[in-house]
């Protein structure tokens, strides 16, 4: 059994895998995460490996307390990945994006793949048919957009997500909801159209905290898989074992 842990910028997500299938998944805040992991390991005592991808501020040291119980794999750029990395600055590429690209490469062989992760940030990652990772884009996520409008202006209130009535917002609140929510959806639809115009034979994988919300609103029919990063962590680990 393998425990995979995704330390994001906002929250931590974790899942226990037996072979290729998820037994249970968890979401928790960063404070007190040691206890949360300890409880998971109490429940699943057959876990032999802990696989971590962290883009948050939690480093490898924080996981070493579990070393008595199981083997820790804290993924870094030094690990083996199933794609050729063409990013001009490979050392600054987020480990979450590398894991997503690995999962897409292994799960969907011999095609162009676009992974869209709608989390704290929206990331776009493109891996072509020759398994070359080309890069993509990073933009502010849904909640970050609401927060940025409030934090960097004097007059804009901090709102929580609401679906706008219309694209023409007729009040401050409606204008913000339209700008944030419609802007988010138009952006993603726009990127998808750009990729579609330039590549054939490709698959889109949609994941992250806002994936379900987004999937319902896109012009294109795309199914969301909220567990794609955790599944990809498990696959990256299996790949590492087979190829190290
Ligand atoms: N309880 C919650 N806390 C924070 N964000 C939430 C919550 N529930 C849903 N969301 C939505 O999820 C988005 C954040 O996604 P996610 O939880 O995947 O981010 P994350 O943990 O920082 O991971 P990553 O850094 O990989 O994006 C926010 O834009 C927000 O709209
Ligand atoms: C973009 C985020 C914040 C998304 O989680 C993460 O992948 C990251 O910190 N990336 C580093 C910059 C880069 O990927 O080029
Ligand atoms: K993200």
Nearest CA to ligand 1 atom 31: 143
Provide the mean pLDDT of the chain: 96
Q: Tell me the pLDDT tens digit for each residue of 27-85.
A: 999 998 999 999 999 999 999 999 999 998 999 999 999 999 999 999 999 999 999 99
The beta-strand segments (E) located in the chain are 2-7, 12-18, 21-28, 49-54, 71-74, 84-85, 112-118, 121-127, 132-140, 202-207
Query: How would residue 221 be classed by pLDDT, with cut points 50, 70 and 90?
Result: confident
Q: Which residues surround ligand 3, an ion (CB under 5 A)?
A: 117, 119, 121, 123
Region label for 109, one of left (φ > 0), alpha (ψ between -120 and 50) or beta (otherwise): beta
**Ligand 1 site, residue 9, Cβ cutoff 6 A:** yes
Distance between CA atoms of residues 224 and 11, nearest Å: 19
The Å distance, Cα 167 to ligand 2 centre, comes to 30
**ipTM for the assembly:** 0.95
The Å distance, Cα 210 to ligand 1 centre, comes to 7
Does the annotation flag 6 for ligand binding? yes
Q: How much is the pTM?
A: 0.97
Res. 237: pLDDT tops 90: yes
Cα→Cα distances 7→10, 56, 237, 243, Å: 8, 6, 16, 25
**Residue from 32, 49, 79, 96 carrying the catalytic annotation:** 96
**Long-range CB contact pairs, 36-41, < 8 A, 24+:** 36/12, 37/3, 37/5, 37/66, 38/66, 40/3, 40/14, 40/16, 41/3, 41/66, 41/69, 41/70
96 is catalytic: yes
Does the annotation flag 96 for ligand binding? yes
Contact 63, 47 (CB under 8 A): no
Distance between CA atoms of residues 136 and 145, nearest Å: 20
Domain architecture of the chain: domains with CATH: 2-74 (3.30.420.40), 84-232 (3.30.420.40)
Res. 172: pLDDT tops 90: yes
Does the annotation flag 79 for ligand binding? no
């Amino acid at each position: 059994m393998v425990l995979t842990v995704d330390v994001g910028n906002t929250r931590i997500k974790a899942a226990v895998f037996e072979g290729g299938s998820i037994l249970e998944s968890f979401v928790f805040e960063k404070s007190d995460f040691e206890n949360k992991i300890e409880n998971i390991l109490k429940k699943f005592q057959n876990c032999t490996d802990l696989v971590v991808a962290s883009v948050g501020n939690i480093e490898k040291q924080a996981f070493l307390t579990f070393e008595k119980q199981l083997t820790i794999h804290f993924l870094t750029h030094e690990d083996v990945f199933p794609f050729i990395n063409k990013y001009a600055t490979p050392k600054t590429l987020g480990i979450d994006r590398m894991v997503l690209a690995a999962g897409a490469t292994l799960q969907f062989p011999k095609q162009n793949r676009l992974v869209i992760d709608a989390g704290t940030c929206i990331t776009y990652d493109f891996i072509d048919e020759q398994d070359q990772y080309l890069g993509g884009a990073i933009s502010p996520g849904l909640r970050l957009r609401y927060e940025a409008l409030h934090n960097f202006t004097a007059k804009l209130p901090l709102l929580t997500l609401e679906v706008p009535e219309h694209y023409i917002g007729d009040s401050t609140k409606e204008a913000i909801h339209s700008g944030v929510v419609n802007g988010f959806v138009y952006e993603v639809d726009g990127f998808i159209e750009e990729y579609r115009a330039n590549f054939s034979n490709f698959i889109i994988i949609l994941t992250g905290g806002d994936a379900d919300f987004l999937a319902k609103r896109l012009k294109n029919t795309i199914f969301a898989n909220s567990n794609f990063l955790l599944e990809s962590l498990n696959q990256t680990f299996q790949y590492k074992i087979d190829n190290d």
